[in-house]
Structure 1
């Protein structure tokens, strides 16, 4: 469901810029403008989150201030709305258990709807029956009411999801950089060197002097790079390229779909038979039953191609 919703959201975003029957160069330009708009909105939201502080307008200012310091601007506004919804809740009682407390709530003008929040003081874990935190990752109004009853000045750590905090982007970028493999780094270096040396080779190939200098320099540099690879411990096969097999490889062989036993590809090819004796191994021209001395071979050859002459055209003499 997540992947489908995300894809549909991106399609709705690009449909504002892209239209049907666009030419290729128009599509590329419109696609770049849509990406520019998306990145501009993201940069604007990030700048507002890092360089400005929202106004605190509710009565629960300690919780609201703590949310402003950890949440992004968009999530802070949603948390602000949850604080407003908390004012419509009605406290129906509390039960003391062995290691936790259960709070019961109902909502103003909504009869028959009740919610329960279990709170563990030792671990500060909260769980609400509405399951909004499990679904979206944002503390609901029922949890905020329990925080007010417990005189909390900060949001409980169990009610915080790292993906909605300001540090999620920075930590995510560092995590992605740490996951780069040595193969990917080697592939990047290989591509950069190829682009540089291709330009130099195009210049060196235009003159004989440049060709000789480039050839000598390449030979010396190749020996030097080979020594560095051997010193590092990389196995270099003699007479073979030591470059990794980067790029797109051959596609995988896929079996034919459907009934392959009854397809024409699976049927064996019929052997060619002689038109005179119907024996396999020779043709009509070399058939031993034909009388080569009387010239019947030539007549048989022309008879074979009689159908190719149009109507009214004189046929060859036999």
Structure 2
């Protein structure tokens, strides 16, 4: 069977497995079933999915994931360029540089990409090449210029993350394992993945990042972002605040907006628009929209405005530390089939959690409201559970059964295995060191041949053995 995991990235930039399926075939019907089950279990379809150019998967995504943006792996496409070029152009370094600069750039608009693509095709005589024509016709599936306005489009651009997860799961699985053994190994792999994530969360909560400046905005970033995200945003802050090439060229204001022209190290000019009404910043490079991290152009404007803390709408949610990430509970779609597959008790439990965290986050900065909310919870606890009430064994059993959602059977058929009678009998084979220690503790006896007190007798006396060898 074919193992098909769904892989994404967590707030540390590390791979995380959402789900996995086992398929008998790699065709459109199998993939359609897989995507339907994924949406049914998750309650919502993904916003973006990255795959290779498999035709069956493309058909299944168009059929099932109607509101999901489908993206092809760029690496698989660009890796085929060498095979599709004429032989006389294989050694052309200029062609490779121009094509990579055109295709991989996330800073150009679709119109600029198309213009640059056509110029390259005409310059190198590839305008009538069938493969390049087909790739240009499918450009909306793989060229970054067409994903500039799509949220988090720069998070995953290739299937390298999925390939690394395949290699990761191979450490815990065997090709000839049965289904039960595979399931156990899969759980072990997920436990290892969660353990690594827990370590990073522990580091985020205990370690203090090394700051490169004394700016308040850098200190604030170190307290809210995860370790990997802070390392990336720290470079943007340092470059924006201390680089001579990043500077404000001009400012224009009106009642609603403030428009800043910012120059960067590549002599590019970007426009940062600050909306006064809703306190939002928009940059022409669209890094915040594509990746969820503010660019150096926005930090340059924040420095110009003497802003010491990162505005709330620029913090995003994707790369925050775990304690700052807003919890998502429930959130199922309106599909009746999905609702029927979910236990009502679990939905009510998630709604309770969602309400609790919503209130906790809204009163986080007010100590009086926190104390009042705590008093309300304690009073509700007394009303529901009582105070100092000792439950009987029957009530405890009912409470446990209600918690697990199942009852203890009247007749138990499965029992623990009997203890092996040879357990601890000392029949295992001892090492030479153990045997030597045990022999040294035994009292010595006098040998009948050499008359020496030791741990041998006349049958295995060394002197007798030596005389026997000499005679032979």
Scaled by the length of structure 1, the TM-score of the pair is 0.52
Q: 1:145 aligns with which of 297, 300, 305?
A: 300
Deviation, 1:72, is: 1.9
Could you say which residue in structure 1 is the equivalent of 2:222?
68
Listed as ranges, the gaps of 5+ residues in structure 1 are 204-318
Deviation, 1:99, is: 2.7
Deviation, 1:90, is: 3.2
User: Aligned runs of 1:149-228 on 2, under 5 Å?
Assistant: 149-166=304-321, 171-172=326-327, 175-176=329-330, 182-184=344-346, 192=404, 194=406, 196-197=408-409, 200-202=410-412
Distance verdict in 2 for CA 1:95–1:194, change over 3 Å: closer
Could you say which residue in structure 2 is the equivalent of 1:15?
167
Report which structure shows greater RCO (CA 8 Å, sep ≥6). 2
Distance verdict in 2 for CA 1:84–1:147, change over 3 Å: same
Tell me the SS of whatever aligns to 1:134.
Answer: helix
Deviation, 1:161, is: 1.0
User: Aligned runs of 1:104-119 on 2, under 5 Å?
Assistant: 104-108=261-265, 110-111=266-267, 113-119=268-274
Pair 1:3 & 2:52 matched: no
Tell me the SS of whatever aligns to 2:327.
Answer: helix
1: CA distance between counterparts of 2:199 and 2:320? Answer: 17
1: CA distance between counterparts of 2:224 and 2:192? Answer: 26
Deviates more, 1:3-12 or 1:68-77: 3-12
Pair 1:102 & 2:259 matched: yes
The CA deviation string for residues 161-211 of structure 1, in whole angstroms up to 9 with x for no partner, is 1343235676416x359998635479x9689464621xx3236xxxxxxxx
Could you say which residue in structure 1 is the equivalent of 2:290?
135
Tell me the SS of whatever aligns to 1:94.
Answer: strand
2: CA distance between counterparts of 1:57 and 1:154? Answer: 16
- Equivalences, count: 196
Distance verdict in 2 for CA 1:74–1:176, change over 3 Å: farther
User: Aligned runs of 1:33-44 on 2, under 5 Å?
Assistant: 33-44=188-199
Task: Answer yes or no: is the 8 Å Cα contact 1:101–1:120 preserved in 2.
Answer: yes
Largest Rg, 1 or 2: 1
Scaled by the length of structure 2, the TM-score of the pair is 0.36
Tell me the SS of whatever aligns to 1:116.
Answer: strand
The CA deviation string for residues 38-59 of structure 1, in whole angstroms up to 9 with x for no partner, is 1121001110111222121135
Task: Answer yes or no: is the 8 Å Cα contact 2:271–2:283 preserved in 1.
Answer: yes
